Amino acid sequence: MALREPVELADPHSIGPVHFIAIGGAGMSGVARIYQELGVEVSGSDQVDSANLRALADAGVRTWVGHDPSHVDGARTVVVSSAIRPDNPELVEANRRGLRIWHRSAALAALMLGREGISVAGTHGKTTTTGMTAVMLAHAGADPSYVIGSPLASTGRSAHLGGGSAFVVEADESDGSFLQYPSRIVVVTNVEADHLDNWGTPDAYFDGFVRMATRPEVRYVVANLDDPGAAHLVGRLASTGTVQVVTYGESAEADVRLSDLDLEGATASATLTRGRQSGRLELQVPGRYNLANAAAAYCAASLLGIDHDELLAAAASFTGTLRRFQLVGSRGGVRIYDDYAHHPTEIRATLGAARRAAGDGRVIACFQPHLYSRTQEFAHEFGAALALADRVLVTDIYGSREDPVPGVTGALVEDAVEAAGGSSRYVPDKGDLPAALAEEARPGDLVITLGAGDVTLVGPLLLPLLPDTGATGDRSARSL
C-alpha cells in the first residue's frame, strides 16, 4: 500500500452521484452516511453483509453485497479505501470510464470545507480522543460534525452531520491520509514509529507528522508533552514559528497539566489545571492514557471557546467508543472486555488498565496479531507487552490487506510471550478460542480480547460457555 498524497478537493454537493467501494467498513460507512444526509445520491458495495451495510440501506442508500462493474453505473465519483486492491472489478470499471476516483480521506476532507476543522492524529489514542472531543463539543451545545473510527458507545454512531461550525475527524497516519484534511486545529496524542511498510523509516514517519502540523491552514497544534515523539514534534514546531502549540500532560511544563491521578478500578480521575483554573477531571473509562486523551480533547475544545467547567462536566459524560475497553458482559464471575489494541504500546496500556480493573482476579489476554508485516517487526515487543497478563492466548494473524509471509504466524508472538516470562498458549484457529478461554477462565478473572481484526467476535461466543450465575452480557454471539 502506497502513501496517499493530497488531491484537489471539490464541493461535496458537486461530485455526486457517489459510489463507495467497501461501504460497510467502519471508516467508509460514516463518510457515506454524511454524504447521504447532505442530499447527495449515494450507493455502495461490500464483500460481505454487515450491520453497517444494512443500516445504510435502511437510511436510503442503494447497497450491494459483492462487487460487480455494473455497480458504478450512474456514478460520477467513486470512493475507495486503502484496502481496495487495484484489480477490484468496480475500481477497474471506474478507471475505464474515466470517473473521478477519490480515496476516503479526500471524500471526508471535502466535507470539512468551510468548517472549523479539528484533526486528531497520533500513533495511539486517535479514536477515543476524537470521540471525547466530539462529545465535549456536543455537550456544550456546539453540535459538531464528526467522523470517528469507531461508533460512540452512547449512540452507536461513528458519524454525525452537525449544524455547528466544528468538524472533528480521526486523522489516520498509516497511509498519509492525515495530510489531506483542511484543519485549523491539529491534535497529536503521540508519535511512535508504526506502519513502516508504508513510511519506510521512523524518520520518514515522524516527518509526516511535521508536514501535517505545518500545513498552511493549521493555526494550533495540541500535543502530549509526556510522549517523547510528540515532545520532539513540539521542539520542531517551535523552530518554525508558524503555529501556536498548546501542550498537555503530567509534565510540570505542560500548558494543561494533569496531577493527583486516581487510576483504581474501571474509572479514572485527575486534577486538571490550566493557568489559574483547576478542577477534577472525572472519567467513566479507565487508564492513565484516557486521562491524557481527555486532556487533549479539553485543549481542542477550549480553543473553540468552550468554558473550563463545562468541559470538565462534558468529559464525565463520555462513556467510550466501541472496541475500546468495551465491556462485553459477565457470567460465572468472569468479566469479558474487548479492545482494539494492536500495537505493543497500546497493549501495554490496555493491560495496565485491565490489571487495575481486575482487582484480585487474574487477567487473561486473548490476542489476534494484525498484519504480517507488523507481527514480523514487533513480535518481541508484543511478547513483552502481553506478558503483563497472567495468561495469554494467541491466535493466528489477521492479514487484512496483506498476503501471508512464509514463517510469520501467531506462533512468533506466543514464543515471545514465553521468552518474556509470561504464560501463553497458541490457538491457531480463532474458531477454537471461545472454548479455549472457557477452559482457562475461573471466577474473578477478567478476560480481554485484543486486536484490530475479527477477534472482537470471540467475547460474545465465550459468554454462553461460562457457568450461568445470573450475570448478563450485552452483545449477541455470532459465528466465527
Residue 223 within a domain: yes
Residue 477 within a domain: no
Query: Binding-site residues, please?
Result: 122-128
Same domain, 330 and 309: no
> So what's the pLDDT on residue 25?
86
Same domain, 216 and 300: yes
Residue 301 within a domain: yes
Same domain, 67 and 93: yes
pTM of the model: 0.81
Residue 268 within a domain: yes
The pLDDT tens digits of the residues spanning 319-377 come to 888 778 889 999 999 999 999 899 898 899 899 989 989 989 999 999 999 999 999 99
What percentage of the chain reaches a pLDDT higher than 90? Answer: 78
- For residue 480, pLDDT over 90 is answered with no
The pLDDT tens digits of the residues spanning 49-98 come to 888 899 999 999 999 999 999 999 999 999 998 889 999 999 999 999 99
The pLDDT tens digits of the residues spanning 416-439 come to 999 999 999 999 999 999 999 999
- For residue 401, pLDDT over 80 is answered with no
Same domain, 166 and 60: no
What mean pLDDT value characterizes the chain? Answer: 92
> So what's the pLDDT on residue 477?
46
Full domain range(s) for residue 266 = 114-315
> Would you call 282 a catalytic residue per the annotation?
no
Lowest pLDDT segment from 42-51, 113-122, 283-292, 319-328:
319-328
Higher pLDDT, 302 or 152: 302
Considering 127, 247, 375, 449, which one is annotated as catalytic?
Answer: 127
> So what's the pLDDT on residue 273?
98
For the chain, the domain total comes to 3
> Would you call 430 a catalytic residue per the annotation?
no
Same domain, 42 and 93: yes
> So what's the pLDDT on residue 1?
55
Residue that terminates a domain, selected from 79, 102, 125: 102
> So what's the pLDDT on residue 473?
52
Residue 473 within a domain: no
Same domain, 151 and 286: yes
> So what's the pLDDT on residue 209?
94
Same domain, 275 and 143: yes
Residue that has been written with the C-alpha cell 502481553 in this structure: 386
Same domain, 161 and 227: yes
Residue 142 within a domain: yes
Same domain, 209 and 346: no
Query: Binding-site residues for ATP, please?
Result: 122-128
What percentage of the chain reaches a pLDDT higher than 70? Answer: 97
Considering 126, 129, 192, 414, which one is annotated as catalytic?
Answer: 126
- For residue 307, pLDDT over 70 is answered with yes
CATH code, domain carrying 154: 3.40.1190.10
Same domain, 356 and 459: yes
Q: Of 204, 128, 208, give the one whose Cα is nearest residue 170.
A: 128
Considering 170, 173, 346, 440, which one is annotated as catalytic?
Answer: 170
> Would you call 253 a catalytic residue per the annotation?
no
- For residue 33, pLDDT over 60 is answered with yes
Residue that terminates a domain, selected from 54, 81, 102: 102
Residue that terminates a domain, selected from 280, 315, 350: 315
CATH code, domain carrying 30: 3.40.50.720
Residue 1 within a domain: no
Same domain, 21 and 124: no
Residue 311 within a domain: yes
Same domain, 172 and 308: yes
